């Protein structure tokens, strides 16, 4: 049996940048380093960084967070998903050093939504309710942008109002197009800005080729990762023998019966080191 690792799979530029910022802060040695929410939706990478000294806190924890002082130096990292302005205000009040790991692509979406909100547009963002990136972008619109995940969400839009339609960076082009049709049917003419991350689009294209040339495809990534789940669903439509796993121990060896080529890939939140480790462990298990 041949095992092929998708040559370009690994963490996307935005998440890589946020992790590099964390590693840079960790080098300082004299500070407490926190990140707001998981730095990456990958349990193993989070564990690695926690062991190096990173602590993960949630937004609710800020209410009881002890402010920074001369004796207590604190850095708080904003992850690639970004945060609403209300979070930045809280952090400023605490006197901590803010390390902004917001992905530049997400920053662009935040600015776009803020500009159109300022110009009094109705804003429809196709994506997922409660996704951290979405919460951040909505915060830049005084919390009035509409999340469009389900058909019922479209019904809440005001017909005839000037409207901007944009996307959460990680949703599929298929979902975006499907929702644009429904939004137009309700609202009429709209301005469309495709804010889907280009690295996600490129990856989907490339992966559709990779998924076709293997007998079984293993998509490696955290159970909480929206990127990984989306990627798994996309691959499944191309190769019905696609499985989402975190470690080789989750593989059911019936999947690999009479199989010649096993492909291994990962989402934007699966680090390369973890994919290499996965492939090595898989090879050992199969021998």
Site residues (vs ligand SF4, CB under 6 A): 12-15, 80, 103, 105-106, 169-170, 197, 199-200, 268
Where does residue 13 rank: exposed (0-12), middle (13-18), buried (19+ CB within 10 A)? Answer: middle
Nearer to ligand SF4, 127 or 248 (CB): 127
Nearer to ligand SF4, 198 or 283 (CB): 198
CA 74 to centroid of chain Cα atoms: 26
Q: Measure the CA–CA gap between 232 and 228, rounded to whole angstroms.
A: 6
- The distance of closest approach from Cβ of residue 277 to ligand SF4 in the complex, given in angstroms and rounded to an integer, is 21
Nearer to ligand SF4, 197 or 264 (CB): 197
Q: Measure the CA–CA gap between 143 and 156, rounded to whole angstroms.
A: 15
Q: Percent helix, strand, coil in the chain (nearest 5)?
A: 45, 20, 35
- The distance of closest approach from Cβ of residue 105 to ligand SF4 in the complex, given in angstroms and rounded to an integer, is 4
Q: Measure the CA–CA gap between 76 and 94, rounded to whole angstroms.
A: 10
Check if the beta carbon of residue 203 is closer than 8 Å to that of residue 268. yes
Q: Measure the CA–CA gap between 104 and 139, rounded to whole angstroms.
A: 17
- The distance of closest approach from Cβ of residue 43 to ligand SF4 in the complex, given in angstroms and rounded to an integer, is 18
Judge whether 133 counts as a catalytic residue.
yes
CB contact set of 210 (below 8 Å; sequence gap of 6+): 6, 217, 263, 265
- The distance of closest approach from Cβ of residue 131 to ligand SF4 in the complex, given in angstroms and rounded to an integer, is 11
Q: By beta-carbon distance, which residue lies closest to ligand SF4?
A: 14
Catalytic residue among 25, 45, 133, 230: 133
- The distance of closest approach from Cβ of residue 268 to ligand SF4 in the complex, given in angstroms and rounded to an integer, is 4
Nearer to ligand SF4, 105 or 218 (CB): 105
CB contact set of 198 (below 8 Å; sequence gap of 6+): 105
* Alpha-carbon distances, residue 174 vs 12, 195, 243, 286 (angstroms): 21, 13, 21, 37
Instruction: Give the closest residue to 75 by CA, choosing from 91, 52, 51, 93.
Output: 91
Nearer to ligand SF4, 131 or 251 (CB): 131
DSSP 257: T
Active-site amino acid positions: 133
């Amino acid at each position: 049996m041949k095992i092929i690792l998708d040559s370009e799979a690994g963490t996307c530029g935005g998440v890589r940048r946020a992790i590099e910022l964390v590693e840079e802060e960790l080098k300082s040695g004299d500070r407490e380093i926190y990140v707001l929410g998981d730095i990456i939706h990958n349990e193993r990478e989070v564990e690695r960084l926690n062991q190096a000294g990173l602590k993960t806190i949630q937004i609710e924890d800020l209410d009881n967070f002890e402010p920074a002082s001369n004796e207590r130096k604190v850095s708080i990292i904003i992850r690639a998903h970004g945060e609403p302005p209300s979070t930045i205000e809280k952090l400023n009040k605490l006197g901590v050093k803010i390390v902004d790991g917001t992905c530049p692509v997400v920053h662009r979406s935040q600015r776009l939504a803020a500009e159109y909100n300022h110009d009094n547009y109705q804003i429809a963002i196709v994506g997922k309710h409660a996704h951290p990136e979405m919460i951040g972008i909505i915060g830049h619109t005084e919390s009035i942008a509409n999340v469009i995940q389900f058909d019922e969400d479209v019904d809440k839009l005001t017909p005839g109002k000037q409207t901007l339609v944009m996307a959460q960076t990680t949703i599929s082009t298929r979902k975006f197009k499907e929702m644009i049709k429904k939004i137009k049917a309700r609202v009429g003419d709209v301005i469309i800005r495709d804010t889907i991350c280009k690295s996600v689009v490129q990856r989907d294209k490339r992966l559709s080729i990779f998924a076709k040339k293997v007998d079984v495809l293993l998509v490696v990534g955290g159970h909480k990762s929206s990127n990984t789940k989306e990627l798994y669903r996309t691959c499944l439509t191309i190769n019905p023998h696609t499985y989402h796993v975190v470690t080789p121990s989750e593989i059911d060896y019936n999947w690999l019966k009479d199989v010649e080529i096993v492909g291994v890939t990962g989402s934007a939140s699966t680090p390369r080191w973890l994919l290499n480790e996965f492939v090595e462990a898989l090879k050992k298990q199969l021998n």
